[in-house]
Amino acid sequence: MSKKTTYIILILALLGVVGLYFFNKYNVAPALNVAQLDVIDEHSVKFDIASLKGKKVIVSFYASWCPACRDELQVLNKIKDQKLSGIEILAITDEGIEKLLDFKQKKQYPFTFLTLKAPFGSIGINSIPVTYLLNTKGEIVYNNLGYIEWDDESTLEHLKGLMD
């Protein structure tokens, strides 16, 4: 192997390591003040997330075209009554009212469906699903970028415990 080829391989390997470093460093849910999001409900009425203070809340940012989002919402629906009773679930999209209504009608999930008035990117969300857990004080106690294994008992108990 020539010196030139060796240098090219070393440079590509170094770039790969640097790329993985930054991917892992920035592959996190953005810091948000969830209570101040500009969202509307299915009737185009402004929804005040801060009004849920006193309740435990799961905030899930999703899109109807996102397979991981659909899977996560399906699992949340499956365990909602037995394992998440007393916990509010907000499903927030940026797709607009018509897509929200279509998705809600098809799925019939017992969640509060909301739409963000701006694209996800405007609040720093560049990948979905993104989930935030709020305690009864309205504080974010956990956030996650990507699918959460809600049907795993230890994960579920840990996340519920964080909201106490």
Domain boundaries, the chain: 1-29, 31-162
Q: What does the pLDDT read at residue 9?
A: 87
pLDDT of 25 strictly over 60 = no
Distance of alpha carbon 4 from alpha carbon 10, whole angstroms: 10
Q: What does the pLDDT read at residue 88?
A: 96
In angstroms, the Cα distances linking 39 to 13, 137, 159 are 44, 20, 25
Q: Judge whether 142 and 160 are in contact, CB under 8 Å.
A: no
| Residue with token string 């999930």 | 109
**Whats the size of the chain, residue-wise?**
164
CATH code of 31-162, in short, is 3.40.30.10
Q: What does the pLDDT read at residue 21?
A: 64
Q: What is the tens place of the pLDDT at every residue in 110-152? A: 999 999 999 999 999 988 999 999 999 999 999 999 999 999 9
Q: What does the pLDDT read at residue 24?
A: 52
Which amino acid belongs to residue 37? L
What residues pair up with 115 in beta bridges, in sequence order?
40, 93
Distance of alpha carbon 136 from alpha carbon 119, whole angstroms: 28
pLDDT of 20 strictly over 70 = no
Mean pLDDT confidence for 28-39: 87
> By mean pLDDT, which of 20-29, 41-50, 70-79, 87-96 is the weakest?
20-29
Mean pLDDT of the chain: 91
Distance of alpha carbon 131 from alpha carbon 62, whole angstroms: 9
pLDDT of 16 strictly over 60 = yes
CA 72 to chain centre: 10
